[in-house]
Structure 1
Amino acid sequence: MTHPPRPAEHPTEAVADPTGTARSRLDRSFFLRDAPEVAPDLLGRVLAVDTGEGTVELRLTEVEAYFGANDPGSHARNGRTARNASMFGPPGHLYVYFTYGMHYCANVVCSPDGTASGVLLRGGEVLTGHEIVARRRATARRGVEYARGPARLASALGLDLTHDAADLCAPGDDAPMRILHGTPPAPDLIGCGPRTGVGGAGADTPWRFYIEGDPTVSPYRAHVPRRRARPAGDAPNGPAGGARPR
């Protein structure tokens, strides 16, 4: 297991919090770096979301970086579209998308405006708002499952397409969404490896970062090619045919 170096020049790298900055917000300059650099530095940070139900705070434990139009695993690989436009926007905003006809996933946009750089939020530990999250994630058997995986994380925080392009660095103490400094893990507790479910040329890119041993980190799953649907007359196991449901 390799461990990425933490950016020594960034003032928020300290594991301890002697100056009491854990509750202060990350500003936009934090996200001006490219996604592969921002991603490991997001571990241990706290994403706070205010809604009509109350506030949920979540400590980030697992993330993945996607960077530029040449990244074969990125939504930006085929250029800018209405769906991925927020990923090309200014840093410090959310890029939220809808997938598989039922789930939402959230990314933090990085790099200068126009770069298409983002960090997928894959897992986290709920710190506050447990009762709110328990209602949203009623099927979860244990608390560690509330936000283990990107769709579960978005559900726990109540995120959907109305939050796409939301500004995480908006001024004012009443901003409804923000990322706090939190307490980053020690460098030797940061693991990295291939991104979950990414195949092809980007399959081996080690841009998935996580806190070693944390129970809220989702299990790694390699890419599984989808089977092409068969014509109905060629179905071997009955009239339904097509690819096996997943």
Structure 2
Amino acid sequence: MIDLYYWTTPNGHKVSIFLEETGLDYTIHPVNIGKGEQFDPAFLKIAPNNRIPAIVDQHPVDGGAPIPLFESGAILLYLADKTGKLIPQDLRGRNAALQWLFWQMGGLGPMAGQNHHFSQYAPEKLPYAIERYVKETARLYAVMDKRLGEAAYLAGDEYSIADIAAYPWVVPYERQGQDLANFPNLKRWFDAIAARPAVQRAYAKAEAINPPKPMDEAEKKILFGQDADTVRKH
């Protein structure tokens, strides 16, 4: 049994997609980050960075005590190793998957996240910041498009945790100022993943938990007003 501490963000979707793809038994524990539930002391014991997703594996393969984990990339790698699924088992394939997983964690996610913030949520529209992150998002899309012109998936011939990590960050491409028609290989990949039943199940659960709605000012204050004192007081 996997306890999944989750909210309906791209990083949250990564883990729910993996769990749906592999059929692992799991329970979702919603953590409404717009209401500040990420600061609950019980959650912070699992995820000291006060971010979702996090998991607790109640039955780790070593037979020992439950294992808590935070950080979506670490969770995907842990679950892939636990199941032996969605990561190539050969040396070269495994490392191809890992490099694209880390590429997403260090590049696509942070840059697209800043794109979202400055283009959608910032109280003041700063043209330089918006242009900076829209262009960088386009550059990263082009990197994916080039790679996907060489292989079916980011790690090669096999669908893997690298694809699962990247896909949710491409879903809001219109909000990122991107047109998938400009990236035909990426569009082929995107459409193929969107059609996977496990992906559709994961997104259906997300919509049931948190139906799409505009973020209100109270939520923005909680999400975008954090600093060092936020950590210290919790």
- Fold agreement, TM-score > 0.5: no
TM interval, shorter chain, is under 0.3
Where is the helix percentage greater, Structure 1 or Structure 2?
2
Where is the strand percentage greater, Structure 1 or Structure 2?
1
Could you state the TM-score of these two structures normalised by the residue count of structure 1? Answer: 0.23
Could you state the TM-score of these two structures normalised by the residue count of structure 2? Answer: 0.24
